[in-house]
């Protein structure tokens, strides 16, 4: 595992998605406009075509109109939104001219769609087989005994083992990844010419995402269907797409083949998107965040939509809508830089200035933890009892956290990574005593926190605080920003009088980059990124030493994520904060963290500095996790496919927890849990392979 | 704002009333138990309104209600009902003219301001049934003519149409004439009132401008005084205006006709049905609102406590409401009311007047209805709290060490208030109906208390009579329909205004 040094780093393209005989254009979309009834344009003048066997990716941040484009194609737009003008031709058939009854034949038969949340797109009271059978009966005219074998066949095709039994099961008996496979089987049942996949893997873990993406590629290769992939993830685009359309505020602002786009992004927005991706190369310096937010629907259309956030914008950009400009072979862009005289001058100027080599490596990354230890966790256990029967007897335990030891030095960032359900969030909450730990010791700044009463605990509350994942759920909608910020100060008696508090609130808002006037406003008036800033200001109000960040950027767009990461980083430098950074996003971890702990089924399987764990992983699980991350250079590490899914923590496997999915499993792995092996002074692994 | 208007009207009415009697001796005000409850409720609503006014996020949904024509029209109707109910709530005992040993003696009968205003229709009782707007009784009687012959015919009414010489010829013309005059008078008074209130409003706005320096600057800046013509262009206001004029016309007609006729006929003992129906409004309102007052603390406290604390607290509360809601509520209410009845009858010395006794029974009915009806809302609130307690802002507060009681009051209660509000308004109409059903079964209010239930109960026999007496039931039906419909439509408007899914824009 010593291939490339970091994620998300641009480099020449070597491998590519499978090239298959690509034929005629299957789908032609011409000047499609979709409006709200009040006239706001949600999808504004979009044109693209997809060839047979080709994957076209629509890339963009949330609120850009990607999903609305897909729903316009299916003619499934919600009430109050309609296609105002344009042409949609599927195999020479005008979709917009079809009557509704003919459209029903098209949906599922010619064009199928899979959605983001597999848990919500299957009917919970019908068996999986019945749901697939419905499609078969409608679109394949199969009857009676023919149906069931075909269902089983389809389920086998999407890689579901024991398919005949699974066909008679209900959705709740399947895991998330399996549900998405079933959705794909359902979509394939009608032999569609075009499959629309709307963020098909966003709700899944990286390892499952890799499985599902591979399945989509294989299916496409077998059937030669066209695939319209909607995603916000550049990594997924790099793995899947042949053609890419970048959407911004309802328009396609750049369209190119994947190779062209990744080699030379033309639009300033696309360039910024690449620059905003965190990785280790940039860990010493702030990320190139795009200021501001995606404009709301129905914003004025007089000028270039990106102009307010663009650092290359000049007067013309604020006055005139840019025309579509063709560069070489199929690469198109909507930007004044490429159409006007002034633009080409600016472009040349920029070319001479850019490409300065990035300062290599971040300072401090990889060095041993210095300073005194702030938080010491020994053998932390959180077990939830499973109760059954009338008397609610305890019949077993879900071992969510099973003996975790962590050591966070002052002013450092420690990252906890793992798939969902591995217990990382539970660790965070147990440290804060939001969930009572079953056993173990948590020593914070020399004080034991477990076993003390609420009054004593309150004294130490100020030192350790948490930033939550969802900025929409973490602020009380009925309280003003000032009241939100004041709550912690009141509870922990931080400031003496109300004048001092108000001063502190002003200070905090400035610190997190918000205007002072915003303290009289309510949370719903802010965007996701601004809300996360408020949440950060709220915890800073009590002067903590340690922040537990529970996936603080996973609900945010890439450009906003960069803003928040920059903020966290600068706060660490200014205030000497320590972070426990809980995340599944390895690129973010690599950018921000000093040390990484990898967690699997309630236990730490590997720990060490970022360099050691992410660039020379020893545990097969870490290796698999790393190889599953889609990279924007389209180049996998040595592919370690992880079969299956994480076992339930109520019945962890005997021996090494990972042996059920491990490719290099040995006999002793099945019997005894491996002890800790020291690879270096900082790098420790629980695996027999490393011990040898 | 409506309540404020009512209060001022109450003062006017009270002043008018007492000044009328000032010549003689003053009356003794009587405050019954349900009156206390109503005053408490009124005070609560007023404080809540003042509290909401200062919080823009709470005012916002109410502004949306104000923009809904149906909601505002039903609110106008509701406030008329409330006005009648409030007038009927201010009780007193009239001083009798004769004095014993220099001490003023008061009549045993407890009257209300409403009774005083409606003395006309209250006192003009006939012998027995008479149809609406009739001049003759509904049943034939043997009468002695001036010649001394016994004649069996429909006798003239003592009051209804007594001014007519030959009712058979003149009745229709007279009714039409009075209807026309009444409508015109009503319209004129309505228009006059609107003009006067508009002028008062302008005066008030100027007054404010003069006195507050900041306001003056604001207004001089854009110079946009809300004028009447501008307000008429706004749709809900227009609907409100039309409804107000229609109601004014209807009132004018009723007042004109009621002076000499029984607009809705008379009942078995000759009482005016219009009077009975108007008196029933207070009972309906008391049942609808006081019950809520009783039920709300149970539902709110127990519901959010069960949802937030989980564990044994949740178990205990769940057991209580499961047991309570599995007992048929009519049985429980019947048992409690009958016990109460026996108890009251064993202690007649506790009550100075029969009104006090009937009132206590009404209050007790409210209590028992409240105790049996909190389970639904409690369950709803428990579920919502279970959802809220897992939200991250609650966990953030816990991480700050904020106390449980503070989390409940600052975080949970404001976020479940929309459910409480909707449930309370929705419950109101079902409680008014519940009283009718209970009184029909015979375990409702005291027979001397006028209520929609007792009206319907008496209609049971009247409907089986030949010829049928239909007007008692029709009156109860009509009043209840308007009251409950207005309450429901208003609740709908409130619910829509508070529903975040409908207010995305």
Q: How confident is the model at residue A280 (pLDDT cuts 50, 70, 90)?
A: low
Q: How confident is the model at residue B169 (pLDDT cuts 50, 70, 90)?
A: confident
| A457 vs B: CB within 8 A | yes
Q: What percent of chain A has pLDDT over 70?
A: 89
pLDDT over threshold 50, residue A528 = yes
Q: Name the DSSP letter for residue A169.
A: S
Domain ranges of chain A: 27-273, 373-463+543-612
Mean pLDDT value across residues A69-78: 90
Q: What percent of chain B has pLDDT over 70?
A: 88
pLDDT over threshold 60, residue A576 = yes
| Parent domain of B220 | 164-259
Q: Which pair of tokens denotes residue A630?
A: 């889609």
| B421 vs A: CB within 8 A | no
Mean pLDDT value across residues A516-526: 83
How many C-beta neighbours within 10 Å does residue A459 have? 12
CA B133-B134-B135 angle, to 5 degrees, is 125
| A432 vs B: CB within 8 A | yes
Cα(A35)–Cα(A85) distance, integer angstroms: 9
Residue B117 falls inside a structural domain: no
Residues in chain B with CB shorter than 8 Å from the CB of A80 are: none
| A315 vs B: CB within 8 A | no
Mean pLDDT value across residues B283-307: 90
Same domain, yes or no, for B339 and B304? yes
Mean pLDDT value across residues B421-450: 80
What pLDDT is attached to residue A370? 54
Q: How confident is the model at residue A347 (pLDDT cuts 50, 70, 90)?
A: low
Q: How confident is the model at residue A599 (pLDDT cuts 50, 70, 90)?
A: very high
Which has more pLDDT, A471 or A56?
A56
Where b means 16+ CB within 10 Å and e means fewer, B248-261 reads bbebbbbbbbbebb
CB contact under 8 A, A474 and B401: no
pLDDT in tens, B108-164: 888 899 988 888 888 888 888 888 988 888 888 888 877 888 888 888 888 888 888
Mean pLDDT value across residues B257-265: 90
Same domain, yes or no, for B243 and B318? no
Number of helices followed by number of strands (H, E) in chain B: 21, 5
Domain final position from B259, B281, B305: B259
Burial bucket for residue A128 (CB in 10 Å: 0-12, 13-18, 19+):
buried
Residues in chain B with CB shorter than 8 Å from the CB of A535 are: 396
What pLDDT is attached to residue A29? 93
Residues in chain B with CB shorter than 8 Å from the CB of A42 are: none
Same domain, yes or no, for B290 and B424? yes
pLDDT in tens, A122-135: 999 999 999 999 99
Sheet architecture: strand order including A464-467: A464-467, A546-550, A578-583, A413-417, A595-600, A603-609, A684-685, A677-678
Whether B292 contacts B431, CB under 8 Å? yes
Compute the Cα dihedral for A90, A93, A94, A98 and give only its sign.
negative
Same domain, yes or no, for B204 and B353? no
- Interface-testing mutation among B56, B385, B393, with chain A (most A C-beta atoms within 10 A): B393
How many C-beta neighbours within 10 Å does residue B22 have? 10
The β-bridge relationship of strands A595-600 and A603-609 is antiparallel
Q: How confident is the model at residue B227 (pLDDT cuts 50, 70, 90)?
A: low
Cα(A648)–Cα(A660) distance, integer angstroms: 12
- Distances in Å between the Cα of A641 and the Cα atoms of A209, A468, A655, B467 are 11, 31, 22, 90
What pLDDT is attached to residue B499? 66
Same domain, yes or no, for B310 and B207? no
Q: How confident is the model at residue B76 (pLDDT cuts 50, 70, 90)?
A: very high
Write down the mean pLDDT value for chain B. 83
Residues in chain A with CB shorter than 8 Å from the CB of B395 are: 429, 434, 466, 468
Same domain, yes or no, for B302 and B199? no
Mean pLDDT value across residues A315-321: 83
Cα(A80)–Cα(A34) distance, integer angstroms: 11
Q: How confident is the model at residue A371 (pLDDT cuts 50, 70, 90)?
A: low
Residues 494-553 of A with CB under 8 A from B: 522, 535, 538-539, 542
Q: Which residue of A has its CA nearest to B391?
A: A473
pLDDT over threshold 90, residue A387 = no
Residues in chain B with CB shorter than 8 Å from the CB of A541 are: none
Residue B324 falls inside a structural domain: yes
Mean pLDDT value across residues A512-528: 84
Nearest to B411 among A457, A476, A535 (CB): A476
Nearest to A434 among B393, B398, B410 (CB): B398
- Interface-testing mutation among A456, A464, A487, with chain B (most B C-beta atoms within 10 A): A487
How close B392 comes to chain A (CA, Å)?
Answer: 4
pLDDT in tens, B376-419: 999 999 999 999 998 889 999 999 888 899 999 989 998 888 78
CB contact under 8 A, B400 and A474: no
- Interface-testing mutation among B315, B395, B399, with chain A (most A C-beta atoms within 10 A): B399
pLDDT over threshold 80, residue B241 = yes
Same domain, yes or no, for B189 and B333? no
Q: How confident is the model at residue B317 (pLDDT cuts 50, 70, 90)?
A: very high
CA B467-B470-B474 angle, to 5 degrees, is 175
| B397 vs A: CB within 8 A | yes
| B312 vs A: CB within 8 A | no
What pLDDT is attached to residue A557? 82
Mean pLDDT value across residues A188-198: 91
Residue B172 falls inside a structural domain: yes
CB contact under 8 A, A492 and B400: yes
Same fold: A27-273 with A373-463+543-612: yes
How close A387 comes to chain B (CA, Å)?
Answer: 13
Q: Which of A403, A386, A567, A537 is nearest to A465 (CA)?
A: A537
Mean pLDDT value across residues A644-666: 84
pLDDT over threshold 80, residue A364 = no
Cα(A184)–Cα(A229) distance, integer angstroms: 13
| Fold category of A27-273 in CATH | Rossmann fold (3.40.50)
Residues 6+ apart with CB under 8 A from A89: A27, A28, A29, A30, A95
Cα(B505)–Cα(B502) distance, integer angstroms: 8
Q: How confident is the model at residue A539 (pLDDT cuts 50, 70, 90)?
A: very high
CB contact under 8 A, A474 and B392: yes
Same domain, yes or no, for B330 and B251? no
Q: Which pair of tokens denotes residue B367?
A: 């209590």
Which has more pLDDT, B95 or A437?
A437
ipTM over 0.90: no
| B158 vs A: CB within 8 A | no
Same domain, yes or no, for B363 and B494? yes
What pLDDT is attached to residue A368? 42
Mean pLDDT value across residues B315-328: 91
Q: How confident is the model at residue A642 (pLDDT cuts 50, 70, 90)?
A: confident
Same domain, yes or no, for B223 and B365? no
Question: What would you report as the CA-atom Rg of chain B, rounded to the nearest whole angstrom?
Answer: 27
Same domain, yes or no, for B244 and B336? no
Q: Which CATH number fits domain A373-463+543-612: 3.40.50.300, 1.20.140.10, 3.30.360.10, 3.40.50.150?
A: 3.40.50.300
Residues in chain A with CB shorter than 8 Å from the CB of B411 are: 476
CB contact under 8 A, A487 and B395: no
Of A282-286, B245-249, B300-304, the least confident: A282-286
Same domain, yes or no, for B251 and B280? no
Whether A37 contacts A222, CB under 8 Å? no
Residue B6 falls inside a structural domain: no
CATH of the domain at B416: 1.10.3720.10
How many C-beta neighbours within 10 Å does residue A671 have? 11
pLDDT over threshold 80, residue A352 = no
CB contact under 8 A, B401 and A478: no
Domain count within chain B: 2
Write down the mean pLDDT value for chain A. 84
CB contact under 8 A, B396 and A470: no
Whether B488 contacts B429, CB under 8 Å? yes
3-state secondary structure of B110: strand
Kindly give the residue spans of alpha helices, DSSP state H, lying in B136-223: 167-211, 213-222
The β-bridge relationship of strands A677-678 and A684-685 is antiparallel
- Interface-testing mutation among A449, A453, A473, A490, with chain B (most B C-beta atoms within 10 A): A473
pLDDT over threshold 50, residue B504 = no
Biggest CA–CA distance in chain A, Å, is: 81
Nearest to B399 among A434, A475, A522 (CB): A434
How close A474 comes to chain B (CA, Å)?
Answer: 4
Q: How confident is the model at residue A3 (pLDDT cuts 50, 70, 90)?
A: very low
Mean pLDDT value across residues A447-473: 87
Q: Which residue of B has its CA nearest to A428?
A: B399
Nearest to A478 among B391, B399, B414 (CB): B414
What pLDDT is attached to residue A12? 40
């Amino acid at each position: 595992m010593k291939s490339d040094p970091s994620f998300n780093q641009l480099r020449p393209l070597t491998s590519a998605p499978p090239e298959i005989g690509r034929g005629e254009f299957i789908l032609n979309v011409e000047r499609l406009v979709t409006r709200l009834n009040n006239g706001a344009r949600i999808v504004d003048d979009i044109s693209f075509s997809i060839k047979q066997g080709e994957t076209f990716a629509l890339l963009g941040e949330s609120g850009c109109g990607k999903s609305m484009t897909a729903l316009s194609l299916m003619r499934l737009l919600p009430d109050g939104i309609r296609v105002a003008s344009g042409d949609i031709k599927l195999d020479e058939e005008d979709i917009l001219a079809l009557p509704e009854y003919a459209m029903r034949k098209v949906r599922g038969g010619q064009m199928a769609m899979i959605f983001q949340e597999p848990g919500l797109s299957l009917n919970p009271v019908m068996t999986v087989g019945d749901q697939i059978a419905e499609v078969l009966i409608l679109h394949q005219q199969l009857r009676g005994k023919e149906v069931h074998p075909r269902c089983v066949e389809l389920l086998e095709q999407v890689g579901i083992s024991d398919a005949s039994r699974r066909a008679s099961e209900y959705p709740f008996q399947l895991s998330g990844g399996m549900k998405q496979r079933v959705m794909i089987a359902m979509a394939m049942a009608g032999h569609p010419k075009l499959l629309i996949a709307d963020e098909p893997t966003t709700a899944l873990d990286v390892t499952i995402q890799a499985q599902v993406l591979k399945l989509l590629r294989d299916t496409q290769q077998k059937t030669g269907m066209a695939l319209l992939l909607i995603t916000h993830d550049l990594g997924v685009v790099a793995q899947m797409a042949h053609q890419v359309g970048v959407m911004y505020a309802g328009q396609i602002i750049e369209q190119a083949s994947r190779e062209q786009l990744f080699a030379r992004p033309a639009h300033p927005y696309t360039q910024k998107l690449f620059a905003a991706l965190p990785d280790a190369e940039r860990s010493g310096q702030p990320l190139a965040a795009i200021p501001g937010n995606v404009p709301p629907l129905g914003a004025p259309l007089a000028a270039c939509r990106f102009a307010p956030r663009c650092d290359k914008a000049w007067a013309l950009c604020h006055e005139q809508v840019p025309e579509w400009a063709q560069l070489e072979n199929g690469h198109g862009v909507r930007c004044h830089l490429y159409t006007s005289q002034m633009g080409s001058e600016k472009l040349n100027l920029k070319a001479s200035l850019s490409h300065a080599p990035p300062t290599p490596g971040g300072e401090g990354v990889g060095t041993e933890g210095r300073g005194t230890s702030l938080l010491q966790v020994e053998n932390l256990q959180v077990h939830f009892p499973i109760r059954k029967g009338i008397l609610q007897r305890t019949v077993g335990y879900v071992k969510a956290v099973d003996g975790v030891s962590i050591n966070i030095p002052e002013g450092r960032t420690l990252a906890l990574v793992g798939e969902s359900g591995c217990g990382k969030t539970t660790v965070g909450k147990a440290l804060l005593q939001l969930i009572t730990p079953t056993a173990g010791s948590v020593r914070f700044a020399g004080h034991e926190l477990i076993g003390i009463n609420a009054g004593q605990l309150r004294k130490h509350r100020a030192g350790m605080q948490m930033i939550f994942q969802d900025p929409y759920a973490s602020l009380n909608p009925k309280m003003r920003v000032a009241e939100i910020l004041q709550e912690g100060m009141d509870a922990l008696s931080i400031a003496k009088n109300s004048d001092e508090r108000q001063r502190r609130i002003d200070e905090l808002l400035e610190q997190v980059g918000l205007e002072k006037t915003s303290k009289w406003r309510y949370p719903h008036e802010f965007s996701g990124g601004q809300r996360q800033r408020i949440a950060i200001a709220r915890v800073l109000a009590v002067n903590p030493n340690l922040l537990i960040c529970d996936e603080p950027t996973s609900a945010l767009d890439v450009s906003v994520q960069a803003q928040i990461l920059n903020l966290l980083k600068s706060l660490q430098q200014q205030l000497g904060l320590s972070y426990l950074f809980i995340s599944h996003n390895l690129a973010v971890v690599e950018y921000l963290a000093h040390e990484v702990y990898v967690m699997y089924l309630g236990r730490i399987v590997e720990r060490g500095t970022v360099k050691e764990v992410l660039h020379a992983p020893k545990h097969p699980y870490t290796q698999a996790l790393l190889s599953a991350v889609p990279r924007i250079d389209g180049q996998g590490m040595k592919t370690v496919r992880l079969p299956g899914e994480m076992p339930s923590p109520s019945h962890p496997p005997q021996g090494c927890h990972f042996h059920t999915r491990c490719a290099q499993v040995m006999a002793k792995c099945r019997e005894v849990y491996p002890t800790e092996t020291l690879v270096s002074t900082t790098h420790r692994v629980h695996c027999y392979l490393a011990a040898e | 704002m409506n309540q404020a208007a009512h209060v001022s009207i109450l003062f006017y009415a009270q002043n008018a009333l007492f000044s009328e009697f000032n010549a003689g001796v003053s009356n003794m005000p009587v405050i019954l138990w349900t009156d206390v409850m109503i005053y408490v409720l009124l005070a609560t609503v007023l404080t809540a309104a003042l509290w909401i006014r200062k919080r823009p996020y709470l005012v916002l949904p109410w502004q949306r209600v104000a923009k809904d024509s149906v909601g505002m029209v039903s609110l106008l109707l509701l406030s008329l009902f409330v006005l009648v109910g409030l007038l009927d709530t201010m009780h007193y005992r009239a001083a009798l003219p004769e004095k014993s040993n220099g001490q003023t003696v008061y009549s045993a009968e407890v009257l209300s301001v409403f009774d005083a205003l409606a003395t006309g229709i209250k006192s003009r009782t006939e012998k027995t049934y008479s149809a609406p707007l009739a001049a003759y009784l509904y049943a034939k009687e043997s009468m002695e003519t001036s010649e001394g012959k016994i004649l069996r015919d429909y006798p003239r009414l003592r009051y209804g149409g007594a001014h007519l010489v030959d009712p058979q010829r003149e009745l229709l013309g007279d009714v039409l004439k009075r209807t026309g005059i009444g409508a015109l008078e009503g319209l004129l008074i309505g228009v006059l009132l609107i003009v006067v209130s508009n002028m008062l409003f302008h005066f008030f706005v100027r007054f404010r401008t003069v006195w507050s320096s900041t306001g003056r600057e604001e207004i001089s800046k854009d110079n946009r005084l809300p004028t009447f013509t501008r307000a008429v262009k706004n749709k809900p206001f227009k609907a409100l205006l039309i409804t107000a004029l229609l109601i004014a016309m209807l009132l004018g007609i009723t007042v004109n006709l009621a002076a000499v006729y029984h607009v809705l006929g008379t009942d078995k003992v000759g009482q005016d049905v219009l009077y009975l129906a108007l008196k029933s409004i207070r009972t309906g309102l008391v049942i609808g609102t006081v019950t809520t007052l009783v039920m709300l603390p149970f539902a709110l406290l127990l519901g959010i406590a069960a949802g937030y604390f989980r564990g044994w607290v949740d178990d205990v509360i769940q057991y209580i409401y499961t047991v309570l809601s599995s007992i048929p509520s009519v049985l429980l209410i019947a048992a409690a009311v009958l016990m109460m009845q026996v108890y009251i009858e064993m202690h007649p010395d506790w009550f100075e007047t029969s009104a006090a006794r009937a009132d206590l029974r009404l209050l007790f009915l409210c209590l028992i209805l409240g105790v049996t009806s909190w389970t639904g809302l409690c369950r709803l609130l428990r579920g919502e709290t279970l959802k809220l307690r897992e939200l991250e802002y609650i966990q953030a507060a816990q991480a700050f060490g904020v106390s449980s009681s503070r989390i409940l009051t600052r975080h949970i209660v404001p976020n479940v208030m929309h459910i409480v509000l909707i449930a309370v308004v929705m419950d109101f109409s079902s409680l008014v109906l519940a009283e009718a059903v209970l009184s029909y079964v015979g375990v409702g209010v005291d027979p001397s208390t006028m209520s929609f239930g007792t009206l319907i109960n008496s209609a049971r026999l009247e409907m089986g009579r030949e010829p049928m007496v239909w007007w008692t039931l029709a009156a109860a039906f009509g009043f209840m329909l308007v009251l409950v419909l207005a309450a429901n439509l208003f609740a709908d408007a409130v619910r829509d205004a508070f529903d975040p899914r409908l207010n995305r824009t």
